Amino acid sequence: MSSNIFDVENIRLDFPILDKTVNGKKLIYFDNAATSQTPKQVIDVISDYYLNYNSNIHRGVHFLSQQATELYEGAREKLKNHFNAKLNSEIIFTSGTTHAINIVSSGYSEILSEKDELIVSELEHHSNIVPWQILCEKTGSKLKVIPMNDLGELELDKFDELLNENTKLVFVNHVSNALGTINPISEIITKAHKYGAKVLIDGAQASAHFKIDLQNLDVDYYVTSAHKLCGPTGVGMLYGKKELLENLPPYQGGGEMIDQVTFEKTTYADLPHKFEAGTPNIAGCIAFGAAIDYINSIGLDKINNYENHLLQYATAKLNSIENVKIYGESENKTSVISFNVKGIHPYDIGSILDKMGIAVRTGQHCAQPIMDFFKITGTLRISFAFYNTEEEIDFLIDTLKKAIKILS
Amino acid sequence: MKIIDIQNQIIEEFEVMNDWMEKYEYMIGLGKSLPTMDNNFKSDSNLIKGCQSRVWLHAELKNENIFFHADSDAIITKGIISILIRIYSGQSPKEILDSSFDFINKIGLKDHLSQTRANGLSSMIKQIKMYALAFQTKLN
């Protein structure tokens, strides 16, 4: 799809921040994989909550509390429908992807033993490596790694070799934050299930780009963050199959998550409240639902087509610049481009782009194993959202060429 | 030359520059002409942690003055290193400890001190002061 079919100019009007100037230049925001911008429809929901409904949920008999509870549970329903979970109670609100992963990894510390094995991929964000390392230290379980190839794709035949009857958990990201590779999670889930292993998919980089059907995937746990898909920061989702979440020990103790408390024994509340101890980020969760509505009002298919168009457009332009090397060249990618210019440190280029108003990410992208694989210390990463334009990419390319000239 | 005099000299040099582009071009020039650090000094113990670009800082005491050797894999960072070396290398530990780092704001490089930049400027400053403190203790 070309940009003239997708009404990007109209969509940009929903994002007031895109009119901002930084360092005296018009902002060009190409750091969407770190966090996406928030449309005014979502911002309005947050301010509406504090102006009209602010109160604690699930407790008060009073009007405001009931209204807030309805909105909060309504947001859960929106997530359940959007991701096609079977039950509302399978959707747990968390503070983000990292929190969601930690709920699961912490629960498994009481389930796993020394003979058990876990499999992670080489393409992971640190947040989907470190909690499992901690888990293995606690339980004595063994952590194995699915390697990747030069294109930045997982080697599934090697995955076959790692699987066995002792495999208890497999955790892979749906999309790599550093390279943009879309992993074949459906195949991974099917293969893991043959050995009875459970699979956790980190969807932080996926859910903003294409439709995810949890029941169809038959995934055991799926986690994501609101702020990657036009929602607020500090909110995320843990999806888990009902029977698995029921058997997973609670992560935090506190109010909201209990059924009966005496000093002798506490019984826990049913799902989803068992994992939602304390007062949650109510406004944020409601806004997460609003963000889902916003994304669906445009349509993920349209978004995906348009972002792919931007990806192809930018990739071709970058490849035409001498000494540019792109990392992550899989045919299945989201709109993320990680690259370096030979002989120039990404930090230097990033600094100059910033002065020209262009926001990009430089560094290791919390994915040191990937950097080690390519034997580099970091990359420049540009990541597009559906509100970016070809013109912005043209300006990036021109500025990049100037930066290379100054720095060479 | 005293630290404050060198700092004022640098402030004056930056004052005549019209925009950030000129400042960056100047720093890039400085970075390119900074002598390469001896590979022996590029050790893990001299590596400053928490920087997006790698920065190595080595110091030695000669005749009661500290001499700094530093390097980075990013050229703008090297430019900043060059400025720091010009000011602090060859000074006594006491003078370094007594000096202010306000000149960074005055030459318009304040944003390089911010946490997100993590380009090592604030870490380098901290490390320079640490060396000064360590050598002063040694001298006493």
Q: Name the nearest CA neighbour of A350 among B90, B39, B8, B116.
A: B116
Residue B59, both tokens: 């110091």
State whether A330 and A269 are in the same domain: no
How much is the pLDDT for A251? Answer: 85
Rounded to whole angstroms, how far apart are CA atoms A120 and A146? 6
- Report the pLDDT averaged over residues B50-62: 85
Whether A310 and A293 share a structural domain = no
Q: Residue A58 and residue A142: Cα distance in Å, rounded?
A: 41
Asked if residue A2 belongs to a domain, the reply is no
Instruction: Please give the pLDDT value at position B92.
Output: 96
- Position A37 in a domain: no
CATH value at residue A216: 3.40.640.10
A36 within some domain: no
On the question of pLDDT at B118 being above 60, the answer is: no
- Same domain (yes/no): A338, A253: no
Is A348 in the B-facing interface, judged by CB distances under 8 Å?
A: yes
Tell me how far the alpha carbon of residue A207 is from its chain's centroid.
Answer: 7
Q: Would you place residue B122 in the very low, low, confident or very high pLDDT band (cuts 50, 70, 90)?
A: confident
For residue B92, the number of C-alpha atoms closer than 13 Å in the C-beta half-sphere is: 11
Of A268, A297, A326, which marks where a domain is finished? A297
- Note whether A287 and A306 are same-domain residues: no
Q: Is residue A35 part of a domain?
A: no
Q: Which residues are CB-neighbours of A237 under 8 A, at least 6 positions away? A: A79, A83, A91, A92, A93, A94, A100, A222, A223, A224, A225, A226, A288
- Chain B partners of A344 at a C-beta cutoff of 8 Å? 75
Q: Hey, which residues 77-136 in chain B have their CB within 8 Å of chain A?
A: 77, 119
The distance of Cα A180 from the centroid of its chain, to the nearest Å, equals 12
In the block, tokens 């799926």 appear at A222
Q: Are residues A344 and A396 in the same domain?
A: yes
For residue A207, what are its two tokens? 């859910």
A270 exposed, middle or buried (CB, 10 Å; 0-12, 13-18, 19+)?
A: exposed
Interchain contact A345–B (C-beta under 8 A): yes
Q: Measure the CA–CA gap between B13 and A309, rounded to whole angstroms.
A: 47
Asked whether residue A3 is domain-assigned, the answer is no
- The residue segments making up the domain with residue A215 are 42-297
Where a domain ends, among A232, A263, A297? Answer: A297
Tell if the CB–CB gap between A351 and B76 is shorter than 8 Å. yes
Residues in chain B closer than 8 A to A378 (CB atoms): 52
Instruction: Report the C-alpha gap between A351 and A346 in whole angstroms.
Output: 9
CB contact under 8 A, B76 and A377: no
Q: ∠ CA A134-A221-A34 to the nearest 5 degrees?
A: 75
On whether any CB of chain B is under 8 Å from the CB of A407, the answer is yes
What ipTM describes this predicted complex? 0.86
For the domain that residue A347 is a member of, what is the CATH number?
Answer: 3.90.1150.10
Domain end call among A297, A327, A356? A297
Min distance B112 CA to chain A CA atoms (Å): 10
* pLDDT one digit per residue (tens) for chain A, 408 residues: 444 468 999 999 999 999 999 989 999 999 999 999 999 999 999 999 999 999 999 877 899 999 999 999 999 999 999 999 999 999 999 999 999 999 999 999 999 999 999 999 999 998 889 999 999 999 999 999 999 999 999 999 999 999 999 999 999 999 999 999 999 999 999 999 999 999 999 999 999 999 999 999 999 999 999 999 999 999 999 999 999 999 999 888 777 777 777 777 777 788 999 999 899 999 999 999 999 999 999 999 999 999 999 999 999 999 999 999 999 999 999 999 999 999 999 999 999 999 999 999 998 888 889 999 999 989 999 999 999 999 999 999 999 999 999 999
CB A240 within 8 A of CB A111: no
Q: Which of B92, B63, B83 is nearest to B125 (CA)?
A: B83
Catalytic site includes residue B51: yes
Parallel, antiparallel or unpaired: strands A198-202 and B55-62: unpaired
Q: Both A162 and A282 in a single domain?
A: yes
Nearby residues of A372 by Cβ (< 8 Å), 6 or more positions away: none
Q: What residues does A29 pair with on adjacent strands?
A: A359
Task: Provide the number of structural domains found in chain A.
Answer: 2
| Residues A115, A210 within the same domain | yes
Domains in chain B: boundaries = 3-139
Q: How far is CA B100 from CA A98, B57, B65, in A?
A: 40, 20, 18
CA separation for the pair A182, A40 (Å, rounded)? 30
Fold of domain B3-139: Sufe protein. Chain: A (3.90.1010)
Judged by CB atoms closer than 8 Å, whether chains meet at A348 and B76 is answered as yes
